[in-house]
């Protein structure tokens, strides 16, 4: 698992202290997007590569990369390079109150049908030693525990909510 580095976190967020209100506003904006929440949900049990996000979430690589960059800039996602692969994981902040916010979000996500489905798709496609699950390339280096999360078949719910706010539209 990736470790929090408060100096790097503050540098990425452009702040001197992690208790700055600007940081908290940015954190909540990062958590205010459906795709970013689904990404965080998939990261709950370990590191994930962009290819897995694109396959599970059904979004393009550039879109996933922009959302990952947003989460990295806030300091709640970090990377680890392994050869030509980049693995993304949750970067737990030192500030306990911020950790509590992220934990609460992850706990809430674990009860959402769309997140359960995402996790099931991820587990089925990227867990080794399962016949006909994902490509051989992807199965070779992924072993993650199930997070007990499933799918949201309601596209109506999705249409009732904007997937981006104005700032997100500008940044994405």
Domain residue extents for the chain: 6-132
Q: What is the CA radius of gyration of the chain?
A: 16
CATH of domain 6-132: 1.10.10.10
pLDDT beyond 60 at 125:
yes
pTM: 0.66
**The tokens of 151 are what?**
């799918």
When the pLDDT of each residue in the chain is averaged and rounded to a whole number, the result is 74
Task: Give 58-64's long-range contacts (Cβ < 8 A, gap of 24+).
Answer: 59/35, 63/35, 63/172, 64/35, 64/39
pLDDT (tens digit per residue) in 45-100? 899 999 999 999 999 999 999 999 999 999 999 999 999 999 999 999 999 999 99
Calpha distance 25→79 (Å, rounded): 23
Q: Report the pLDDT value the prediction gives residue 108, as an integer from 0 to 100.
A: 96
Calpha distance 95→107 (Å, rounded): 18
Place of tokens 């970090």: 78
pLDDT (tens digit per residue) in 129-154? 444 334 333 333 332 222 222 223 33
C-beta of residue 34 within 8 angstroms of C-beta of residue 158? yes
How many angstroms separate the Cα of 35 from the Cα of each of 14, 54, 149, 162? 24, 11, 15, 11
């Amino acid at each position: 698992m990736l470790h929090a580095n408060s100096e790097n976190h503050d540098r990425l967020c452009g702040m001197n202290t992690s208790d700055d209100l600007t940081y908290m506003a940015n954190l909540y904006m990062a958590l205010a997007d459906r795709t970013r929440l689904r990404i965080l949900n998939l990261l709950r049990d370990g590191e994930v590569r962009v290819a897995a996000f694109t396959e599970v979430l059904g979004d393009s690589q550039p879109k996933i990369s922009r959302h990952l960059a947003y989460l990295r800039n806030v300091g709640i996602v970090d990377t680890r390079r392994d050869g030509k692969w980049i693995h993304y994981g949750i970067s737990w902040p030192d500030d306990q109150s911020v950790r509590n916010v992220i934990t609460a979000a992850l706990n809430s996500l674990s009860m959402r049908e769309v997140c359960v489905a995402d996790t099931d798709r991820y587990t089925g496609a990227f867990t080794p030693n399962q016949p006909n699950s994902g490509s051989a390339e992807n199965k070779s280096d992924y072993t993650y525990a199930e997070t007990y999360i499933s799918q949201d078949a309601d596209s109506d719910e999705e249409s009732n909510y904007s997937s981006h706010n104005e700032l997100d539209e500008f940044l994405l």
